[in-house]
Amino acid sequence: MHIAIIGDQAATRQATTQLLSQLTTPTQPLQVTAYPTAEAFLFADQPADLLLLDIKLGSGMDGMTLAKQIREHDAATAIAFVSNYDEFVFDGYDVNALDYVIKPITSDKLQHLISKVAAQTQPKLLVFTTANGIQRVAMYDISAIEVTDHRLQVHTQKMTYTVAGQLKEFLPQLDENFIQIYRSIVINLNFLSQLEKNTVVMADGTSYPVSRQQAPLVKQAFFKHFRGLAHDSE
Q: How far is CA 221 from the centre of its chain?
A: 22
- Residue pair 50/99 in contact (Cβ under 8 Å)? The answer is no
Helices (H), the chain: 10-23, 38-44, 63-71, 107-121, 167-170, 215-232
Fold of 2-121: Rossmann fold (3.40.50)
Q: What is the DSSP letter of 25?
A: B
What are the φ/ψ torsions at residue 63 (nearest 5 degrees)?
-65, -40
Reading the chain (234 residues) residue by residue, the pLDDT tens digits are 899 999 999 999 999 999 999 998 877 889 999 999 999 999 998 888 899 999 888 778 888 899 888 888 887 788 998 888 666 555 555 677 888 888 889 999 999 999 888 877 767 888 888 988 888 888 888 999 999 988 999 999 889 999 988 899 999 999 888 999 999 999 998 888 888 889 999 988 999 999 999 999 998 888 887 665 444 433
- Work out the angle between the directed axes of helices 107-121 and 10-23 (0-180°, nearest 10): 60
Specify which residues 202 forms β-bridges with.
192
Residue 37, SS3? coil
d(CA 185, CA 178): 10
Fold of 125-232: OB fold (Dihydrolipoamide Acetyltransferase, E2P) (2.40.50)
- Residue pair 153/179 in contact (Cβ under 8 Å)? The answer is no
pTM of the predicted model, to two decimals? 0.54
Where are the chain's structural domains? 2-121, 125-232
Asked if 2-121 and 125-232 have one fold, the answer is no
